[in-house]
Amino acid sequence: MVDRLPRYAAGKPPVAVDGLASYKLSSNENPLPPIPAVVEAIAAQTDFNRYPDPLSTKLRTALAGFLDVPAEDIVTGAGSLGALTQLLATFAGQNDDGKPDEVIYAWRSFEAYPICVGLAGAESVRIPVTADGRHDLDAMAAAVTARTRVILLCTPNNPTGPILTAAETERFIRSVPSDVVVVIDEAYQEFVRAEDAVDGIRMYRKYPNVVVLRTFSKAHGLAGLRVGYSVSQPQLTQHLRVAATPFAVSQIAEQAAVVSLQNFDQVVERVQSLVEERDRVSAGLRDLGWFVPDAQGNFVWLDLGANSAEFAQLAGERALSVRAFGNEGVRVSIGEAEANTRFLELCAVYTKPPRRS
């Protein structure tokens, strides 16, 4: 079974080019280091002979205050991917008759979904995104069968960029059976500026079959420490907690996340600087006549089709690593201002821009 799973191709580091600083724009990482208070808190820790708190009580308490939800409704994991793996292991797998459960998600979306679904023993049902990179929610609702256990919604969608609106998400949740778990993956929530965007936490408050996934990897710049969480009502969390990997969140990760939340104003400032860069890049591409789907995360999507590998190669020659997905397109993470400017300079001389199809 494992050999039939797609491989997770992590974003590659840039190849060195003489005379040019290299930039990694291939993993949607935060180009800025964690805030100083977090770095200090990490340096101050020494208790590594001890296991971490398996319930991440400090972090869940801090998050409960931050989100205004009961701490019992939060389950932490090794990144939101850890939380997602727990969730799929809990709710989707193989049935007694040997047939797999179905998990529906948009495609292209987060590369880890097919791997996590496959590992859980369930079957992926992928519904193509629209030409402007949005979830086709009508088609996703129509794909629900008696075997559907989980639906993954990704907003903003990685790698295409657009959000789901509150209205369309709520309509969708109401249209699917209430025993189907609807996951709202909000890894880039802090970067969203669209006013009509869904707020997963509001959906969780209203609907007992909704699970929200959030992470410290992107906005907080803590990807390397692996800490994320899910939020859902007790009828789901009671099962999720049982499936949680013991000690998945280390004490370093927990403490870093707590201190980052305590200094959220500084996180917001950094995120805002990246949002401004994202909007500068999107506007720059549109000025060149390029079609870019609405970018609400920390990345832009270039629908380059068969030219994707060629474009990624040209970026590499300029010491920029970007992420090409087969013959579909290229995702470029927002990085340091100099990296973003160099990317725009490449686009200005590239003669086969993506057009709205």
Ligand X SMILES: *Cc1c(COP(=O)(O)O)cnc(C)c1O
Query: Which residues of the shown chain bind ligand X in the complex (CB under 6 A)?
Result: 28, 79-81, 110, 154, 158, 185, 187, 215, 217-218, 223, 228
User: Between residues 104 and 154, which has the closer beta carbon with respect to ligand X?
Assistant: 154
- When the beta carbons of 85 and 308 are compared against ligand X, the nearer one is 85
At 330, list the tokens: 């290229």
Secondary structure of residue 62 in the 3-state scheme: helix
Return the number of the residue (158 or 250) whose C-beta is nearest ligand X: 158
CB of 192 to ligand X, least distance (A): 13
**Cβ distance to ligand X smaller for residue 140 or 154:** 154
Query: Nearest distance from residue 287's CB to ligand X, in Å?
Result: 27
Residue with tokens 């068969």: 306
Shortest Cβ distance from residue 116 to ligand X (Å)? 10
Phi-psi region of 258 (alpha: psi -120 to 50; beta: other; left: phi over 0): alpha
CB nearest ligand X: which residue?
79
Q: How far is the CB of 172 from ligand X (least distance, A)?
A: 18
| H, E, C per residue of 2-13 | HHHCCCCCCCCC
Nearer to ligand X, 110 or 290 (CB): 110
Residue 173 to residue 208: CA distance in whole angstroms = 11
DSSP summary character for residue 33 = P
Strands (E), the chain: 23-24, 74-77, 102-107, 123-128, 148-154, 181-185, 210-215, 228-231, 299-302, 320-321, 323-325, 329-333
Please count the other Cβ atoms lying within 10 Å of the Cβ belonging to residue 147.
Answer: 15
Q: Which is nearer to ligand X, 236 or 253 (CB)?
A: 253
Pairing of strands 228-231, 299-302: unpaired
